[in-house]
Structure 1
Amino acid sequence: MAEIGKRVRLTVIDIARGVALFAMAVYHLFWDLWYFGFLPFDVGSDPRWVFFARSILASFVFLVGVGLALGHGEGIRWKSFWRRWFFALGGAVAITIATLIAFPDSFVYFGVLHAIALFMLMGLPFLFLPVPVVALVALVFILPPFFVSNVLFDEKIFSWLGFWVVPPVTNDLVPVFPWFGVVLLGILATRLGKTALLPKLATIQPTGKVPRAFAFVGRWSLPFYLIHQPVLLAVIVPLSMLLGTQDALREQDFLRSCQSTCETAGTSAAMCTTYCQCGLEGLDADELWDAVYSGVLTPEQQTKLDENNRQCSALIYPELLNPPAQ
């Protein structure tokens, strides 16, 4: 709860949390639109979108620290704490199960909610330790990832700590380093501003419809987080199937990758275009897309794929189809 003591709620903190959640939903909307072929640019790797996503995460995690300090800074209210903690943990488990079903190759095993559940436990001692200690430990968590990396942390089992060289394949990963340090900054800022700043913030009570809407979302942050993606996907997935956007994107990716591989082997661009277009038509005709993308082909499917490759190669090298007589 964004509270001072037990009764006075800081509406501005709820609004800030609501704005962060809304921004996160906007990012996920554009990520979904890219993933399902509505957008030509890669939201997941575009530097501007990456910066946007990291800024949202930083504000969200910072507010976790603020909420801990406001709700339990005068003494841990265990009943309230455990209720919120189990909600976060339950949400994390639900996200893992849902993404494991929907995206088995990139499921979320330590995303935002997993991190929040852990950070809530880790943050409790820092509500009462001396402020300089909190500041020092925050730096200990924030700074090392900028200077230390090791391939050991590329593996899923260790990646939740941070320090990877190549990020593991997952749709969401919020490692302990540096993000717990941002939680500590939230605790630190709240403790430092408790006497002078927070009483002033408590007097701010916006009455407009927009801030009230943000405040409502901020008060119900976990339900909003859990339902916003299913709602977005419930609209985008059927629309993608209706318009065929993902199939079109998949074909573009195939042609681009095939062309690059073919030209790298020394074949001319024109001949590669002919070969790749033939391969694309073969995948469609024999319904091999899912098998090829999964990497699991039956012997019959492998035979069809090999035959397609021979036929397409013969288009650019006819001698392969009719070798000269000895």
Structure 2
Amino acid sequence: MRQTEDEQAGRQRPRYALVDVVRGIAIIGVVFYHLAWDLRFFNIITTAVDVAPGWFFFARTLLATFLFLTGVSLVLAHGVGIRWRPFWKRFAILAAAALLVSLGTYIFAPDAFVYFGVLHAIALFSLMGLVFLRAPLWLVGGLAIVMFAAYFSFQSPVFNSRALSWIGFWTVPPLTEDLVPVFPGFGFTLLGILLTRLALLSGFAARIAAVSANGRLLGALKQAGRWSLIIYLVHQPILLGILTPLAPYLAREDPAERATEFFGACFSSCLETEGNATQCRAYCNCALEQVEAGDLWGALNAQGVSQNPEIGAVINLCRAMSFELDKPLELLE
């Protein structure tokens, strides 16, 4: 005879090691992604982590995993009956952590602070998910489909404001370091609730619970999963603390930015001396071409640049090509 969900879940609520392992893999992925993001921020690598397709898909997969596991954990912890004291304790911890993230990012980036990031979403979705722990399965699955369909089929500029952007129907992404909107985010949590309830009904959950996740690697992943919130909160300060003092020694110059700065300094200096914008533009374009062609950036940054014969040759050549001067122009002095 088939058992009910409550009977299948059991009152002892066994710890599902495999769920911890998956969560551990996800949090390690988050650390890896943020490490790559920080390396790009400090110009140590050139890959645009925030927009590159592969990295974008990787980040969205990690996010979907955490939202899905939110639904899984809700069912495993409260499927028999909501344990209000543990629930509110966990909710308070999540809310406090989310507030800490908001305050921390506001201090460092007030224009783009995190006002509804992943921790805010998990806290809210945990509360919303309680309604669906005992709702008909068809309703849970149907609403999940609606969440995804609505996200991909409806947009309105009304939701571009910060006050409404957390819902998810914006036409222009708001300025923030992290935003996890209700649409489609809660849809992943609903899927976690649905599939976990089905697993409990079918008996498949017992097979998952039997996975012990022994061994050093699986054991480490299991522990990482159990401490995922702490890891999430501390990993960025640690990474930034390590990379900030090293960045000046590891950073790679951006050729485009370097060329723009060179031309701007040259043009300003030329205008102060000669006052002819057309001739100064021609002179500085010539100088930039010669410096790049001869890879003279090191000479420009060295002491005594005005006595460097290579730099002098560039000045004389570009002066002759641009205009006649009584005295040579100096590139970056």
Letter of the 2:280 counterpart: L
Report the CA distance between 1:277 and its aligned residue: 1.9
Equivalent residue number for residue 315 of structure 1: 280
Letter of the 2:48 counterpart: D
Report the CA distance between 1:242 and its aligned residue: 4.0
**Structure 1 residues 192 and 281, CA, compared in 2 at 3 Å: closer, same or farther?**
farther
Percent identity over the alignment is: 42
**Structure 1 residues 278 and 178, CA, compared in 2 at 3 Å: closer, same or farther?**
same
Q: For each residue in 1:28-61, what CA deviation from the matched residue of structure 2 results, as whole angstroms up to 9, or x when unmatched?
A: 1111111110111211011111111111111111
Report the CA distance between 1:280 and its aligned residue: 4.8
Report the CA distance between 1:317 and its aligned residue: 6.3
Given the alignment of the two structures, is residue 107 of structure 1 paired with residue 113 of structure 2, yes or no? yes
Deviates more, 1:205-214 or 1:100-109: 100-109
Equivalent residue number for residue 181 of structure 2: 175
Equivalent residue number for residue 277 of structure 1: 262
SS of 1:161's equivalent in the other structure is coil
Report the CA distance between 1:235 and its aligned residue: 1.1
**Structure 1 residues 10 and 158, CA, compared in 2 at 3 Å: closer, same or farther?**
same
SS of 1:9's equivalent in the other structure is coil
TM-score between the two structures when normalised by the length of structure 2: 0.76
Given the alignment of the two structures, is residue 206 of structure 1 paired with residue 213 of structure 2, yes or no? yes
Q: 1:229 aligns with which of 217, 236, 250?
A: 236
SS of 2:112's equivalent in the other structure is coil
Letter of the 1:279 counterpart: G
Q: Please give the alpha-carbon distance, in whole angstroms, between the structure 2 residues aligned to 1:311 and 1:61.
A: 61
Q: Extract unaligned runs of 5+ from structure 1.
A: 259-275, 286-305
Aligned residue pairs, count: 275
Letter of the 1:124 counterpart: L
Question: Superposition pairs for residues 1-326 of structure 1, below 5 Å?
Answer: 5-195=11-201, 196-245=203-252, 248-249=253-254, 252-253=256-257, 255=259, 277-280=262-265, 315-316=280-281
Letter of the 2:216 counterpart: K
Q: Please give the alpha-carbon distance, in whole angstroms, between the structure 1 residues aligned to 2:272 and 2:114.
A: 38
**Structure 1 residues 281 and 227, CA, compared in 2 at 3 Å: closer, same or farther?**
farther
Please, what is the CA RMSD of the aligned residues?
2.6
SS of 2:65's equivalent in the other structure is helix
Report the CA distance between 1:278 and its aligned residue: 3.3
**Structure 1 residues 7 and 137, CA, compared in 2 at 3 Å: closer, same or farther?**
closer
Q: For each residue in 1:130-189, what CA deviation from the matched residue of structure 2 results, as whole angstroms up to 9, or x when unmatched?
A: 111111111121211111111222221111111111211211110000010110000000
TM-score between the two structures when normalised by the length of structure 1: 0.78
Q: Please give the alpha-carbon distance, in whole angstroms, between the structure 1 residues aligned to 2:184 and 2:124.
A: 14
Q: Extract unaligned runs of 5+ from structure 2.
A: 1-8, 284-321, 326-333
Deviates more, 1:310-319 or 1:162-171: 310-319
Q: Please give the alpha-carbon distance, in whole angstroms, between the structure 2 residues aligned to 1:307 and 1:94.
A: 50
